[in-house]
Amino acid sequence: MQLPARILSNLLYKLLVFPALILAFSRWFPEWIYFADQRPPVFLSILFIAIGLVADETILPWLGNQTATLQGFLFMAVVTWGTSFMLAGAEVTLSGAILLGAALGVVEYVMHCWLLQQREKETHHRP
């Protein structure tokens, strides 16, 4: 799969999964993840999607899936936790941030597996 198609597939996946997980976790665990309105989840989704699209084409092939996923988990957990300090109406405990970061890391790991397979196929099928 060529780069533009790979990025588009990754974008669509992230657009569906990231906001859904962030909103779901805020509903399932309101004592750990609370957003007074939709702005913090939208902010987090846009930030994670934008950075993830770049990282998945640069850091992932360089560091591999496990290290890239761990790095992504740590980044997403810290930024999610940081929303409590940066955005009005956001209250996220450290436990909530770790839980959400782990869930996002799992879905990222799955996507990374697919992306690496596509890169491998592209490398082996070039004329």
pLDDT digits (tens, 9 = 90+) for 76-115: 999 999 999 999 899 999 999 999 999 999 999 999 999 9
* pLDDT beyond 90 at 1: no
Q: Which residues contact 9 (CB under 8 A, 6 or more apart)?
A: 1
State whether the Cα torsion 3-4-7-10 is positive or negative.
Answer: negative
Tell me, what's the pLDDT at 30? 97
The residue extents of the domains of the chain are 3-124
For residue 70, give the amino acid letter.
Answer: L
Q: Are strands 33-35 and 90-92 parallel, antiparallel or unpaired?
A: antiparallel
pLDDT digits (tens, 9 = 90+) for 33-62: 999 999 999 999 999 999 999 999 999 999
Question: What's the gap between Cα 86 and its chain centre?
Answer: 19
As to burial, measured by CB atoms within 10 angstroms (0-12 exposed, 13-18 middle, 19+ buried), residue 56 is buried
